[in-house]
Structure 1
Amino acid sequence: MSRRVTPALLASALFLTSMVGCSADARPAQSRQALPAEPQPTVTATPQVPAGTAPQKSFAVGVRQLKLNRDGRALPVTLWYPAVGAAGGATKRSAAAADGRFPVVMFSHGLTGRPEDYATILTRWAAAGFVVAAPTFPHTARGSDGNILDVLNQPADVSYALTQVLALDGKAGDPLRGRLDAERVAAAGHSAGGVTTIGLFTASRDERLDAGVVFAGTALGVGTAFAGAAAPQLFVHGELDEVVDYAAGKAAYDKVPWPKAMLSLPKGDHGRALLSDGATLRVVSDASVEFLRWTLYGDAKAKGRISTDATRGDIATFDDHL
């Protein structure tokens, strides 16, 4: 979509909320200018990650900060990673990294959010054997100027941050030297971060990405011209979402041309369950862990467990096209 049209659309549909929010109903009003036709996506059918086996043990989790800057855009990045020590305890700042080479997941927060808001689910991903890197965006994080239109710049922020994070694998003396698997990378995000994540597979396709996880997201502003090698997608959306209409998330999901699944929460709102522990978060985190094990480690057994975890306890329904 052209940048001439999308800022006006985004401004009319996105608004700040007291929680970690994103867009309002993405359905265009009849009086709004018609959108130009999107280009047809160019896709390939074969996922990029070869078959393998994900670690089944849980890791201790370390946490550290990177201070990045992209052309004057400050991008501090929080890193959670598998660490040496007993699993199950509190995260340890700057802990020694566990042995192994771990896939990388780039996570994008929502409007008025910060990476630490999502620490519960992100540390679970790290404990399962993933390095999670979460930028704090300069204009949409809590405490920033709240420029909603800057969401359109965030896919480039994530790609830049990914490059810098992967460079740590070869950086002498860095605690993550030799620990990052640059061939196994995913993107994930909530709300405005979900928009950012979709953008990384459409208008701002980053070919390094092998999979995506979209929480309460919409394609507003970034389009649905999914392109490049097949990158399986997991969408998670509350059917009672008061900020991003469930139908808007489902519409974006329907356009995904690759293996995909949608975890729908009949009693779910815009995503408060992602921010604190509970039955819903456990279902979402367990299903997303198995999805990442399959898409990034190539673990076929993990793929078979996704639907079981997603439908546990009648908390969610699962549309499975994986």
Structure 2
Amino acid sequence: MGIRWRLAAPTTALLTALLMAWLAGCAAAGGTAAQPAPARPAPQVPYAVGVRTFTVDPTSERPLPVTVWYPAQGSRVADGRFPVVLYSHGLSSLPELHSGLTARWAAAGFVVAAPTYPHTRRGAARFSRADVRHQPADGWRVIRHLVRLDGRSGDPLAGHLDVQRVAAAGNSAGGFTTAGMFTAGHPKLLRAGIVIAGGGMAGSLAGPAPMLFVHGTADSVVPVSVGRAAYRRTLGPVAFLGLLGQGHGDYLIPGRPGFAQVLGATTDFLRWTLYGDREAARRLPTRALLPTVTTFETRPAA
């Protein structure tokens, strides 16, 4: 049974106790909480943000233009290594349309890489919903490219990517893409996932990595029942952030109701799972909850 937080509610002490029970379950399942601490603590102040683009496999049948947001210092990448978040867009969308979220993650100390998928992007010459099933493999191609890029002398990102600490996140079809990357036996460098307004794919959500689902309860494109079904069958430790009465994604737009809660919860989830920041895990429920706007619940590993 999940641990559910709503508006009316338990004391802060009880919330903390329940969340610590969830974290203990994560550690017992071999999730991120049990893994070695990263080489550096989570940043305490926001960075400036830089943006670059490149194309993975430009001469292949599935070239992948990639937009990267990164912590910046002046005109260069900030000092140090930063965990990586692969972000997948939805149908008829583009990476830059998600910059309200991705740029803020970069400011919090993550390198965010967002591929433009060839047959589901806005303006695709041969648009195909069915091509979503190929996108988890595309996501892995981008991750492998980033691993090579980190060791490529002369590249601005070389030496700045913590490629052993990677999360995948995505919205709508990108949420299904994200779930599809978490099959049994997936590489351990993929530490956590965030599925926004999406659900599971065949064979997905089978590993021990922590997952966070974000979904509007009045979503008419991907019904919340789809997201909750994926939440229930996730094998690793999992949390669900519900946006009350909201549809398919207005809560991803800065300034809209629920955006601050989505940003706060996802950022703290990434800080916990990729930086090992236990304080971020402890405050996650209070960042996620707003009376009449959100609900939040967790469940330890199955």
Q: Structure 1 length normalisation: TM-score? A: 0.79
Structure 2 alignment gaps of length 5 or more: 1-27
Give 1:24-43 correspondences, 5 Å limit. Answer: none
Counterpart position of 1:231: 209
* Residue 68 (1) aligns with residue 56 (2): yes
For 1:264 and 1:282, how far apart are their aligned partners in 2?
13
Alignment size in residue pairs: 267
* Runs of 4+ residues deviating >6 angstroms: none
- Cα deviation digits, residues 212-264 of structure 1 (max 9, x gap): 00000022xx2255334x21000000000010011011000111111110000
Counterpart position of 1:47: 31
For 1:264 and 1:129, how far apart are their aligned partners in 2?
26
* Residue 247 (1) aligns with residue 225 (2): yes
DSSP 3-state at the match of 1:119: helix
Match of 2:94 among 103, 109, 114: 114
Alpha-carbon distance, 1:147 to partner? 0.6
Q: Which amino acid aligns with 2:296?
A: F
- Cα deviation digits, residues 107-165 of structure 1 (max 9, x gap): 00000000001001100100000000000000000000221111000000000011112
Structure 1 alignment gaps of length 5 or more: 1-43, 86-94
For 1:205 and 1:245, how far apart are their aligned partners in 2?
28
For 1:258 and 1:107, how far apart are their aligned partners in 2?
20
Q: Which moved more, 1:200-209 or 1:303-312?
A: 200-209
Q: Which amino acid aligns with 2:48?
A: A
- Cα deviation digits, residues 163-213 of structure 1 (max 9, x gap): 112222111111111100011100000000011000001279444310000
Q: Which amino acid aligns with 2:165?
A: R
- Report the structure, 1 or 2, having the larger helix content: 2
* Residue 142 (1) aligns with residue 131 (2): no
Alpha-carbon distance, 1:279 to partner? 3.8
Q: Structure 2 length normalisation: TM-score? A: 0.84
For 1:275 and 1:203, how far apart are their aligned partners in 2?
34
Counterpart position of 2:293: 315
For 2:73 and 2:230, how far apart are their aligned partners in 1?
40
For 1:203 and 1:259, how far apart are their aligned partners in 2?
15
* Residue 210 (1) aligns with residue 198 (2): no
Counterpart position of 2:73: 84
For 1:58 and 1:206, how far apart are their aligned partners in 2?
30
Give 1:111-190 correspondences, 5 Å limit. Answer: 111-144=91-124, 145-190=126-171
* Residue 265 (1) aligns with residue 253 (2): no
| Contact 2:83–2:162, Cα closer than 8 Å, also in 1 | yes
DSSP 3-state at the match of 2:76: coil
Q: Which amino acid aligns with 1:100?
A: G
| Contact 1:200–1:206, Cα closer than 8 Å, also in 2 | no
| Contact 1:51–1:300, Cα closer than 8 Å, also in 2 | no
For 1:103 and 1:236, how far apart are their aligned partners in 2?
21
Q: CA RMSD in A?
A: 1.7
Q: Which amino acid aligns with 1:218?
A: G
DSSP 3-state at the match of 2:214: strand
- Fraction of identical pairs, as percent: 49
